[in-house]
Amino acid sequence: MSQAGGGRRAGITVRAPGKVNLALSVSPRRPDGYHELTTVFLAVGLHDVVRLAPAPRLTVTVRGPGAADIPAGDGNLAARAVRLIARAAGVEPSVAVHIDKRIPVAGGMAGGSADAAAALVGCDALCGLGLSREELLLLAAELGSDVGFPLYGGVALGTGRGELLTPLEISDAGVFHWVFAVSPHGLATPAIFQEYDRLRRTRLADGERPTQERVAEVTDALNSGDAALLAAAVKDVNDLQEAALSLRPELADTLRLGPEHGALAGLVSGSGPTCAFLTESARAAATLATALSATGCYRDVLVTAGPANGCTAAPDWT
Ligand code: ATP
């Protein structure tokens, strides 16, 4: 394929966003071992950049913070995604995938899922498969509960295991400014769910607010564009937070620190251990990030905004 200037398309680059869950209601474990979830995903402007190029065989390489902690090659979620889409389309998985990691690894921001989504989008474009959004979503659901959302980005309601997605139209009013404090050590999602089960068995679910009410509060607040309203709506909204704090008690200190330095709200992102802080403005986010960084307690402190777009693909020209 050539462009006007005579260059050749050497590959495809896909930017895939991370997410934070603004509501996360978790039901008891189902007979199939999964938990029923109701969640509001918000895509944020932290992206993994995934480059795909034709190659003699499937390879995956990774660079960036935390790259050493994730499998290169076959064990990588992006490799599974390439295999799956190639099998579905009846083509060879002859693709070299290179991932520039920016989304914290094992941080509850679904970075691996973002890479898998990027690989689906990238392969589709690279091989000219022309799959529809619905077809890509079906493949995404086979790969994992969080893989579908980066295909949409923005804001979406997730039900089932989180993979049944309804995009939520949010007014343009709201750009929300966030700071993410990344813990030095990741937390495995299965360990969090096990701890959630253990804690749930030891207490009654008294006083829990109905899920629909929580979701409506969050979406209303997003639509209002009012960060203070959103802060009130996301208070105690993550059912996995207690389990994350139980396994990592030091996260409570982090959550206390945010409001001391101007955060309107702080929550554990998804299954953690990254803590997400909502702030009033970009300036307030920068001030908070400086204060958190000064403690020296975090692997990284990241400033960003959301909602952000879903996976976007662009050709690489030589
Ligand atoms: P989850 O999506 O399960 O909630 P998470 O968001 O907390 O997880 P991820 O960064 O997605 O964290 O990583 C979860 C695990 O998946 C990692 O520990 C890693 O071993 C494995 N993994 C496989 N492929 C990737 C990838 N491309 N990027 C990150 N992790 C990957």
90 C-alpha to ligand 1 centroid (Å): 27
pLDDT number for residue 212: 75
107 lines ligand 1 (CB under 6 A): yes
Dump pLDDT digits (tens) for 162-185: 889 999 988 877 799 999 999 988
Does the beta carbon of 106 lie inside 6 Å of ligand 1? yes
Catalytic-role residue among 48, 115, 146, 239: 146
Residue the block writes with tokens 């992206």: 47
**Mean pLDDT of all residues belonging to the chain:** 91
Q: Using N-to-C axis directions, what is the helix angle for 77-89 and 133-143, rounded to 10°?
A: 130
Reading the block at residue 206, the tokens are 């008294």
Q: What is the 3-state secondary structure (H, E, C) of 110-147?
A: CHHHHHHHHHHHHHHHHCCCCCCHHHHHHHHHHHCCCC
Query: Whose CA is closest to atom 19 on ligand 1?
Result: 70
Ligand 1 pocket, 307 CB below 6 A?
no
Mutate to test the pocket of ligand 1, among 189, 240, 248, 251 (most ligand atoms within 8 A of CB): 189
- Bridge partner residues of 29 (DSSP): 35
- Average pLDDT of span 263-275: 94
113 CB near ligand 1 (under 6 Å): yes
| Residue 107 Cα to ligand 1 middle (Å) | 8
**19 among known catalytic residues:** yes
Q: How many Å lie between the centroid of ligand 1 and the Cα of residue 35?
A: 19
Q: From residue 2, how far is each of 5, 68, 128, 242, 252 by CA, in Å?
A: 8, 36, 14, 54, 55
Q: Per-residue confidence at 28, pLDDT binned at 50, 70, 90?
A: confident
* Residues 273-286 pLDDT 10s: 999 999 999 999 99
Provide the percentage of residues in the chain whose pLDDT is more than 90.
74
For residue 2, what pLDDT is reported? 40
Q: Is the pLDDT of residue 229 over 50?
A: yes
Instruction: Output the pLDDT for position 241.
Output: 93
CB of 109 sitting under 6 A from ligand 1: yes
- At 40-86, the pLDDT tens digits run 999 999 999 999 999 999 999 999 988 998 998 889 999 999 999 99
Q: Tell me how far the alpha carbon of residue 4 lies from the centroid of ligand 1, in angstroms.
A: 39
Least confident of 9-13, 212-216, 248-252: 212-216
Taken in order of first residue, the domains within the chain and their CATH numbers are 9-169 (3.30.230.10), 176-306 (3.30.70.890)
**45 alpha carbon – ligand 1 mean position (Å):** 18
In the prediction, which pLDDT does 4 show? 47
Taken in order 211, 217, 221, 227, the sign of the CA dihedral is negative
- In this predicted structure, what is the pLDDT of residue 200? 80
